[in-house]
Every structure is written in C-alpha cells, then in structure tokens.
Chains A and B, each alone.
Chain A
Amino acid sequence: MLSEGGYFMKGMAMGGIFCLLLSLLGSFRPGVESDTDSHHHHHHVQASGRDELRRFSDTEMQKLRNQVQVSCIIMVQPKILAYWATALDTWSKHCDKAVFYTSESTKALEAHDLNEKDDWTRLRKALKHAYDNAGELRWFFVAQPTTFAIIENLKYLVLAKDPNEPFYLGNAMKSGELEFVSYDSGIVLSYEALKRLVRVFQDEDKCPERGHALWKLSEDKQLATCLKYTGVFAENGEDSHGKGLFNSKSVERLMADSMQANPNDVVAGCCSDVAVTFNGMSPNQMQVMMFGVYRLRPYGHDFHDLLEFKAPEGSDND
C-alpha cells in the first residue's frame, strides 16, 4: 500500500514540476529574438486597383483625396544628424504634417525633445503626443530618418480604407507567434489603432512603460504586443498585385537580389511601381532618390492616375 502511494506522490510531483517548466517556457517565448522571422502573411491590406477606384464618382474621389492626410512621426537622434537633415530636406516635405522627435536636443536642428533615453519609452511619448495633437489628421506614419518614404503611395494604399477602423500596416514579419510590423520600413497606424494604443499604454501589465524587465524586446515587437491586446493585428501593405510596398532593404539591394532570382525580368521581378518605403540608403542616395521618384521620367508617358496630389510649396528638389 505504501509503495503505491509513493509512486502516486512521485507522479504528482513530476507532473507538477513538468507543468511549471512548461508554463515558464511558454512565457519566455515572445521574448526570443527569432532568427527565423518568416514572411507568411496571414493578414494583408492591398491598395485599391483601378476597377475599385473607378466605382467612385468624381466628388467621392475628391472627398477621399482630401480626407487622406498623413501625420509623420519621425524619431531622430543627434548621432544620425545627416539622416535627420536629409529627411527634413526630402521625403518629409510630402507629409501633411511632419514632427521630429529627438532623444536629446542639438543646436544643429530643431525637434521635440522628449528627454527620454529609452527607445521604447520615447516612442510611446511620441505616439501619445501625435495622438493628442492629431487635429483633423487620421493616418499616422512612424519612421526613422534612415528610411525613405513616398507619402503619395502611402496615401494611395489607404485611400479607400476607413481610419475609424484599426489599421496597423507595413512590412509585416513574424517572430515565433507574434506578427509585427518592422520598424525600419515604417509603421502605419490609423486613427482608431492609435487611439486604442494610447489607451493600452495606461495598462502597466499589458503594456509596461519600461518594457519587460528581464529581456529587451525591440520597439516594433513591443508595439505589436501592446496592440495585440487591443485586438489590432499587423497587416502587410501590398499593391493590387500583392507585391509588398514596405521594404527593409534599399532599391539597390533589392535589384541585386532580383538579378540573381529573376535574371530575365529583373525590374518587374523586383519592386512595386507604387512602393512606399525603402531602407538602408545613404543620405546622398536619398537626395538622388528624390530626383528619381519625383522628377526623372520619360517624356510622353501618362499614367492616367485617378486622383491628383500637388507638389509641396517652397521645395526645389521634387
């Protein structure tokens, strides 16, 4: 009788320890920086094709065009001053509103000094500030100045989407079970997504201000985790053919990759005609990019786009 009871107790103890181990491992999972971030996109948002856009009347199109306004949240640091200055002189001019948030002040350029060294905490403060000062703007684009963005193409992507629905878009990646939008290719948030995010910021359990103490999650994964609690999920931004619009690599890198992968159709196999972001370009390359995107073209080609975006005032490089 005693021996049976002994086995039972041993069994219980082993089971208990095993269970404990499992639950501990389980809670460690989201923190692991996975090398195998995959690109299986269960969620994706596509730009509207021609047919879809043609269904709108002229007045409806005008209304959509006037409503799609982008507030750019650009996270800078003095140590990347050249990029900061370049973003100021190039793509950020095409945002309806562009606010630069810095980790510390510098005499060289002006920005909102959030007085915060921690990257995640600083991002939270910037997002809250942008939300509090949103005004009429309903779309938010978060990027570092090391990213180059084409805001018109961002507007084209979200043109017929309702900002009162939660959208969290960009280059969607997967780390274990977590699907997140990669920071280096820009993060797009609709007004509703930002509203929910700002609300969950107040929940120290779900979305701690200093991040998880034991391990340091990158800001983009922290963001995804917090948003997930509010029922908002990362979605991959794509054109109407399913090609990704947010790129973590430069045009050059992507083209070199395409020369290997599609030697007979290098350009078509590379990148979307209406790509929104590229990453990994030097400040000088970004200046060339402004010319390449906004000016260089073959005479006589007309794309017959269904709406019009005007060139920004007082700019000479676009």
Chain B
Amino acid sequence: MDLFLILNPGTLLITVKCCSDQPKVRCKMTMQSILITCSPFSPVEHNSQLGNSSRTTRILCWIMTGPKNLESRTKHIRETWAKRCNKVLYMSSVETDFPTVKLNVSEGRENLYWKTIRAFQYIHQHHLDEADWFVKADDDTFMVIENLRYTLSSLDPEKPFYLGRRFTPFIRQGYMSGGAGYVLSKEALRRFVKGFDSGNCTHFSTLEDMALGKCMETMKVEPADSRDVKGRQTFHPYPPDHYLVRQPPRPRPWYLLYDHYAPVEGPGCCSDFVISFHYIYGVQLYVLEYLTYHLRPYGYKYRFNPDERIILKTTTDTLYEPTSKHPIDRFNNTDYT
C-alpha cells in the first residue's frame, strides 16, 4: 500500500505515504474524521516477530567498573536496575565475588577503550548466544531496561545497528556518548570483534566512545535513532536537571554542543520512556528508581500513550517522508511536533 487520496468535501486533501519502505515495521492506519495517520509501531505487539516465533528481546548489560567503586557505586546498581537485564556482567581489572569479571586491563581513564575492547571480546567469546542486544553502561549510569526493550523491539538484532545518544564531532557518521550508555545488536558485536581480529579496527585513541564509533563506521554498523515517536531523547549523558529545567531561548550550552539531533531544553527534552541518565551516584540512583518504579500520581491518565493514541499531524504535506532511504533515521529535520 503506497498512496492514499482522501477527499473530504470542503476541507482538506491529504496524501499519505505510509510505512511502505520500512521492511520490518508494522503499520497501523486508521481514519479519524478527515485525517489519516500513520503509526510506525504495532499497537498490539512490541515483541519482535522477525522470522522467529514470539521471543522477547534479550538484553545483556555490562557495567564498566573497578575495585574502588564496587561498594560506593556498583553495589547500588546491582540493587536497582541491573536486575532487569536478562544477564549482567560487571567488568573490572580484578575478579571478585561481587561478582566481577577480570579483564586483562589496568584501571584508569587512559585504559577505558582497552577495557571496552576486552569486555566485548569476552562477551562475544562466552555469552554471544545468551542475548540479542549488548548494552554498555558506566557505574554511574541509571538505566530503565523496560524502555530500552521497548525501543529495541522494532529492530532486528541480526542487522548491524547500534543506539545511544548520538554525537556529531570527529566521526563522519557520528558516535554514541559513552556515559549515556550504548547498545550494540548481535551483528554489530560480531562486526566489532571481527574488526579487531582483522586489524580493520585498532586502539587508535583512549576516548572509548569516539573510538568505538570509528570502528562501527569502519565495519558499516549503522547509528540508529533512539528518540521516541515525538522526537524526544531517551539516552542522556547528564542528570535530569541539565535538560528538564526551563530555559529562555539561548545558544547551546556546552553539554549540548555535541548533540547530533538539535537538542530541546525544558520539558520537551526527554521522552517519558527514558532509557538512561548519567552522573547518577548513590542517593540519586535510588531517587530515580523511586520516581520511575514507585512514586506515581494515583489514577493519572498519562498524556503520552504511543500505543493507544494516533500521531496526528495537521499539515497538508506528506505526513511521513524519510529523507534518507534508511528506515531508522526517522527525523532528519528539527521540526517535530
């Protein structure tokens, strides 16, 4: 189904090109008075139905940590969000009963990329078949795994994708912020490891996130758009107050300079279904856990219901026209309402 012409006497003529170039994405088309709208997500199922019979999205999380942070930071991650990963590994330079995995890398900022390389190699060697998606987080990252699962459910883990908070500089296709956490599909992980095996990828820099981004580009892994259907960010490299507090119109503050997609300040910054915040330690971790999973306004009907609601657009232009051929880069402009 490509094109629909709706003629409604006396009102609007709208043409719709609906989801036809998105191979694995189900399309929901409904009529609401004079507007036909498109929702790229299936209203019924969000579990991937790609070839296999219904299987849930399996996520393996690995936390970049070290001996001196286990008590002060990593312990609290273990008490809170790490439990929601299908599998979690704590990567360190020392093996302990925490339990931590010993990578043959010393601690220190300059070794972060070595740690990342060794961690992914370890996971590829020992745990590849246990998950579909592989998440890296720091020991001061807070993640909401259910929301990660939701975002990933419409993507094929056998395709080379990776997601996170997309940054622009240094790498042509950009790279994902390390602090905000990033996710590799199973195919992306295979290619990363193959890159190092073949020498196509090297340890050319100690900047872990940027260097990994270069390897992704070299191995033709695509950066996917992690924003929600309203174009709001899900991965955040800083705590919530950096984004949510209302600001007068101003040039980008320093912590938003690298953003690939034009950042929004104030309530429109962030998706309801946030995936991560960074620089979250101790008390703050539990506070976010409480706000996300416990404290709620009783009976409140949330405004944002991507399953129920139809995404209404009221222009007479084509409602959905991806500017790139790739289905993933949905919003290639800054006008999203």
Contact = CB atoms under 8 A, between A and B. Distances in A.
Contact of A270 (B80, B240, B290): B290
Interface in B215-244: 240-241, 244
Interface residues of B, number: 43
A285 B241 contact: yes
Given A288-B245, A316-B268, A309 B146 contact: no
A176 B274 CA distance: 48
Nearest to B271: A295
A293 B296 contact: yes
Given A152-B300, A273-B296, A274-B296, A299 B244 contact: no
Nearest to A305: B299
Given A259-B282, A284-B241, A300 B294 contact: no
A308 B305 CA distance: 15
B287 interface: yes
Interface string A278-313: 000000110111111111111111010111111100
Given A255-B286, A273-B296, A298-B147, A291 B270 contact: yes
A293 B270 CA distance: 14
A318 interface: yes
Contact of B287 (A155, A252, A294): A252
A83 to B, nearest CB: 14
A303 B298 CA distance: 9
Contacts of A259: 282-283, 286
Contacts of B287: 251-252, 255
Given A287-B246, A288-B241, A305 B298 contact: yes
A75 B299 CA distance: 28
Interface in B293-309: 293-304
A270 B297 CA distance: 17
A298 B300 contact: no
Nearest to A283: B245
Contacts of B321: none
B289 interface: yes
Interface in A175-210: none
A317 interface: yes
Interface string B60-91: 00000000000000001001100000000000
A298 B293 CA distance: 7
A153 B298 contact: yes
21 contacts: A94-B297, A156-B298, A252-B287, A270-B286, A271-B290, A273-B295, A273-B296, A287-B245, A292-B240, A292-B295, A294-B297, A295-B302, A296-B274, A297-B296, A297-B302, A298-B146, A299-B273, A300-B150, A306-B299, A309-B299, A316-B268
Interface of B: 76, 79-80, 144-147, 149-150, 240-241, 244-246, 266-268, 270, 272-274, 282-284, 286-304
